Amino acid sequence: MVIKIAWAITGAGDYLAESFAVMKQAMEQFDLQLMIFLSKAGLQVVKWYKLVPELETLDPKYQVEKDANTPFLVGPLQRRKYHILVAMPLTANSTAKLAHGIADTLITNAIAQAQKTGVPIYVYPVDQKPGSVTTVLPSGEKLMLTNRQVDLDNVAKLGAMEGFHILGHPKEFLAVLKSFPQN
């Protein structure tokens, strides 16, 4: 069985390259149909990190948010045309919106609709570990960031919501696919 995945990319750069590497590996290991949807900021960050060639290789027909309902991702999710919706990396902003029921962007709206129709949702929120973390900028320079308690609280709230699965690292998505029913 082909596993149909809707992959949502928001404007987070942290673990973006790793997310692309995981999806490339998933495409090689599993029978997948991957549809990629990016927020406007997601596309901006993909360009900044010079990952457009990888994006085009994984899904030459990738789609970019025009508004909260365009491209029309909600309809196919509601009709269960996708087996899984994964959002990685997920910004603190999108995590906060989802944790508080706000669905005003393409990706937050799609995730809310997936939740309502029982489509499994896997997210990798970038701000999920207490303390300081080091991220790598497109230049290769390292940047130290301190995660805010409000962001950690939002991740915890999201993880407690029905239908959400929090990934601790993008690589964990491979284990999800390995355990996915293949009938």
> Any idea which fold 3-178 has?
Rossmann fold (3.40.50)
- Domain assignments of the chain as residue spans, ordered by start: 3-178
Confidence of residue 1 (pLDDT cuts 50, 70, 90): confident
Apex 6 CA angle, 157 and 41, nearest 5: 70
CA–CA separation, 98 and 155 (whole Å): 9
pTM of the model: 0.95
pLDDT digits (tens, 9 = 90+) for 32-58: 999 999 999 999 999 999 999 999 999
Share of the chain above pLDDT 70, in %: 99
pLDDT digits (tens, 9 = 90+) for 121-171: 999 999 999 999 998 889 999 999 999 999 999 999 999 999 999 999 999
